[in-house]
Amino acid sequence: MKTWHYALLVFIGGGCLGILSTFVKLAYSAGFSVVEVTASQVLFGTVIIWLVALFAKKTTIRFRQAGILMLGGVPVGLTGLLYYQSLQTLDASLAIIFLFQFIWIGSLIEWIVYKRRPSAGKLVSIAILLVGSLLAAGLFIGEVGSFSLQGAIWGMLSAITFSIFLFLSGIIGKHVPAIQKSALLSTGAMIVTLLLFPPVFLLDIPTLTGIIPYALVLGIFGVVLPPILFSIGMPHVGPGLGTILTASELPVAIIMSTVVLSEEIASIQWFGVALILGGIIIGNLKQSQRDILSG
């Protein structure tokens, strides 16, 4: 595969994550609770990815390594719990803005763990990102849709756990095949989710049959595809270009909330989205050029 093929996989992976908020809001509108939505997503998604793993390339790994990979899935499980909690009181177009703060939180984690102080370009990009987030949230026009402090807190916590997941996914299981690694990560996410949100809805046939369509979409686009696509593409495009490409999550989420949910997005909010993407590009431009040249 050529470099742009791997880049396309990462871009699609980010777009998959952007689809989730819209279908979660649709599930809520259909009368399903956050427990039913979250638990069904990880349950169905994990079953699907293990079915795929049965026919995919695998390698023998030690029990300890499998345990580490499952622990690495705990933050992504918590991300789903927290993010879907935020969607209960925030518009999808606003909730994604809070989740998207993982960009600068990830840089902070890298600074704390590796003592790598962000470059001037990185700090500029973070500043642009913060301004863009405020614009995209509609704070400067006095219109933030359905906003609540509680929802904002859940959203920021989801950004922290997602940042931790991205950090861990880059340092654990590097030599494990992508689908096998994704299956183990998903298993960890499923375990923590079902412990906190027991799937009692499985005993209620009407609820189970009703939630299945939403669970399948959320499971495929939230649990199955992104980890596989990132595991295949990220090692080849590098973290700089990978971050830019993963930003496809934001515009997809905003577009989906506008087209499907009919949420109103003002022009200044679209400008905020553009600023966020511009900030990411500025912060990673030099690294991205090196990634492309190294192929």
pLDDT tens, residue by residue, 224-251 = 998 888 878 877 776 656 666 777 887 8
What DSSP designation does 197 have?
Answer: S
pLDDT at residue number 284:
62
The larger pLDDT score, comparing residue 282 to residue 293, is at: 282
The band of 286, judged by pLDDT with boundaries at 50, 70 and 90, is low
Q: 139: which residues sit within 8 A by CB, 6+ positions away?
A: none
> Which residues touch 232 (CB under 8 Å, ≥6 apart)?
6, 9, 178
pLDDT of residue 49: 94
Among 98-107, 192-201, 266-275, the range of highest mean pLDDT: 192-201
Position with higher pLDDT, 285 vs 27? 27
Task: Name the domain count of the chain.
Answer: 1
- What's the pLDDT at 189? 93
159-168, 197-206, 211-220, 229-238, range with greatest mean pLDDT: 211-220
Report the C-alpha gap between 84 and 90 in whole angstroms: 10
- Angstrom CA distances, 243 to 19, 157, 262, 277, stand at 18, 20, 29, 10
Q: Taking 80 as the threshold, does the pLDDT of residue 186 lie above it?
A: yes
Question: What does pLDDT average to over the chain?
Answer: 84
What CA–CA distance (Å, rounded) separates 14 from 292?
19
Where in the sequence is the domain holding 186, given as residue range(s)? 3-294
Reply yes or no on whether the pLDDT at 30 is more than 90: yes
Q: What is the pLDDT of residue 111?
A: 83
Predicted local distance difference test score (pLDDT) of residue 29: 92
HSE (side-chain half, CA atoms, 13 Å) at 155: 25
Maximum C-alpha span of the chain: 56
The more confidently predicted of residues 186 and 169 is 186
More confident residue, 286 or 18: 18
Are the C-beta atoms of 222 and 193 separated by less than 8 Å?
no
Contacts of 87-90 with CB under 8 Å at 24 or more apart are 87/21, 87/24, 87/25, 87/28, 87/34, 87/151, 88/28, 88/34, 88/151, 89/146, 89/147, 89/148, 89/150, 89/151, 90/145, 90/146, 90/147, 90/148, 90/151, 90/152, 90/155
Mean pLDDT, to the nearest integer, of 34-53? Answer: 93
Is it the case that residue 1 has pLDDT exceeding 70? no
Rg of the chain in Å (alpha carbons): 19
- Report pLDDT for 246: 77
Check pLDDT > 80 for residue 138.
Answer: no
pLDDT for position 239: 61
In the chain, helix, strand, coil percent, each to 5? Answer: 80, 0, 20
Average of per-residue pLDDT across 150-175: 87
Please determine, for residue 33, whether its predicted confidence score (pLDDT) is greater than 80.
yes
Residue 143 pLDDT > 60, yes or no? no
* Helix orientation angle between 92-99 and 249-259, rounded to the nearest 10 degrees: 170
The whole-number pLDDT of residue 126 equals 79
- Residue 143 or residue 247, greater confidence: 247
